[in-house]
Amino acid sequence: IFDTTIFSFEILSTRFREMAFLNRGLTITLTDERAGHVDDKGEPVKVVYKYDGGISDFVRHLNSTKGEAHKNVIDFESEDSKLKISAEIAMQWSAGYTESVYTFANTINTQEGGTHEEGFRASLTSIVNKYGEEWGLIKKREDRLTGDDVREGLTAIVSVKIGEPQFEGQTKTKLGNTEAKTFVQKIVNDKLGDWFAANPSEGRDIVRKCIDAATARVAARKARELSRSRKGLLEGRGMPGKLADCQWTEPEKCELYIVEGDSAGGSAKGGRDSKFQAILPIRGKILNVEKSRIDRVLQNNEVQALITALGTGVHDEFDIAKLRYHKIVLMADADVDGQHIRTLLLTLLFRFMRPLIEGGYVYLAQPPLYKLKWGGKEQPQYAFSDRERDAFIKIGLDGGKRLPKEDGIQRFKGLGEMPAKELWDTTMDPDTRVLIRVTLEDAVAADDLFSVLMGEDVEMRRNFIQRNAKDVRFLDI
């Protein structure tokens, strides 16, 4: 079918490592014998994966960049030969604030979840509330913890093996077997309940962490309600004051450009097609949500504005049907600061509104780096990289064009210096622009990467940079 097939060693090694985690004791060796793919000793690149701890080691691996909230990984398994189903579950709360629950069916990553995840979530919330009340830590019924409270900072792997799996969803990555929900719910009730009863000290630490999450959630809700009431009185509407909305109201036709700074925001507002393009300027670098609890995140003005403009809500309250724009375009300068801003925004969307990425609603604008001002009546050309600039110059000069020496090549320092029409022509016009759709092929790998890049572990981040520095093609210093 394909003329050429180029295998990605990184993608293959990530998947094989995942399979080794899911099959305790299995050894998988991957060797890259292609020319030029050698290690520091000149030998073919080779990795060997074997995990005697299985999915417990998987949880430890995922939490290695986050820190642990309690010492031991909780793990248990069960099997029903009549139903032809078995399940393994491993879990541990980290010191962080992000939920990292991943489910598998017959070693297939069920990225859309399914019945096994529903059973796990329902039983988990019930058990934590039960022991919180028994230990006197949750005193009133109205203080009971929500699913979001319980799963804040939780890293968990739920792996089921089932005789006749029924996969649903567009990508067939959602488990539909009803017996899986009942089975998982029962073993979590039994096994996790036994663990809490046998480990009251660690159990109390977990419940207290969940109560802290609930306290932060309530504080964030009150802050949102206060903010909404003030905005309602002052503005008479719920949308952020700095949002330049579009005229059309059909979400599938509308686009939201998120831009950094008032200067770029002004150019974007002036250059856009106001019928279907909305502009939301944000001030500087937004909060790093990887290091922040939900109350601090939701009290941040820039985050509030973005969440309000999108309309979906976050976490358990997220509703894709309320999305106001079906194209969300992150438009930042083509330099290091711009890349950092995009990473911060992607971290927010991944951690709080992941279905936007999974559904293909998020895009990265690609503004040009260079403008070639050919002499005479020749139209200018825009280049998106050094290589493209050099190629255009060679082709142009070979074709008899003239490039003025003094100002023939303009390097854009930022979107704010572009005239509105030029920004439209190069970056916003649907007929000429270049957009990159953000996709999520492996949620586990993405979770790990965001934790390394945006988390607290400086040493892990330094190691990542050193390993990947050789692949950097453009660095604006």
User: pLDDT by residue (tens digit) across 61-114?
Assistant: 999 888 888 989 999 999 999 989 999 999 999 988 889 999 999 999 998 999
Q: Kindly report, residue by residue over 32-53, the tens digit of the pLDDT.
A: 988 877 887 888 889 999 999 9
d(CA 393, CA 377): 16
pLDDT at 227 over 90: no
pLDDT band of 179, cuts 50, 70, 90: very high
Q: Kindly report, residue by residue over 363-421, the tens digit of the pLDDT.
A: 999 888 888 999 888 888 888 888 989 999 999 999 888 888 878 898 887 787 788 99
Q: How many CA atoms lie within 13 A of 361 on its CB side?
A: 25
- The alpha carbon of residue 472 and the mean position of all alpha carbons in its chain are separated, in whole angstroms, by 22
pLDDT at 187 over 80: yes
Percent of all residues in the chain with a pLDDT value above 90, rounded to a whole number: 50
239-367+435-471 shares the fold of 56-217: no
Short-list 259, 477, 471, 440, CA closest to 353: 440
pLDDT value, residue 79: 96
333 assigned to active site: yes
pLDDT value, residue 131: 96
Under CATH, what is the fold of the domain 56-217? Ribosomal Protein S5; domain 2 (3.30.230)
pLDDT, mean over the chain: 86
pLDDT at 5 over 80: no
pLDDT value, residue 457: 60
Q: Domain-by-domain residue ranges, the chain? A: 9-49, 56-217, 239-367+435-471
476 assigned to active site: no
* 272 in Cβ contact with 234 (< 8 Å): no
Quote the strand ranges of 33-173, DSSP E.
45-49, 74-80, 85-93, 100-105, 108-109, 154-162, 167-168
Residues in the chain: 477
pTM score of the predicted model: 0.65
Q: What are the backbone angles phi and psi of residue 119, rounded to the nearest 5°?
A: -65, -40
Token pair for 421: 């029409």
Short-list 272, 270, 241, 238, CA closest to 255: 272
Residue with tokens 């979400």, as numbered in its chain: 251
pLDDT value, residue 260: 86
pLDDT value, residue 217: 83
Q: Which CATH number does 239-367+435-471 carry?
A: 3.40.50.670
* 281 in Cβ contact with 262 (< 8 Å): yes
pLDDT at 300 over 50: yes
Average confidence (pLDDT) over 164-188 = 91
d(CA 144, CA 141): 5
Choosing from 77, 133, 202, 335, which is the catalytic residue? 335
Choosing from 333, 358, 422, 447, which is the catalytic residue? 333
Choosing from 168, 212, 337, 442, which is the catalytic residue? 337
d(CA 52, CA 477): 45
pLDDT at 446 over 80: no
* 51 in Cβ contact with 21 (< 8 Å): yes
For 149, counting Cβ atoms within 10 Å of its Cβ (0-12 exposed, 13-18 middle, 19+ buried), the class is: buried
442 assigned to active site: no
pLDDT value, residue 458: 62
Q: Kindly report, residue by residue over 244-293, the tens digit of the pLDDT.
A: 999 999 999 999 999 987 778 888 999 999 999 999 998 877 888 887 87
Q: How many CB atoms lie within 10 A of CB 141?
A: 8
Choosing from 179, 245, 260, 302, which is the catalytic residue? 260
335 assigned to active site: yes
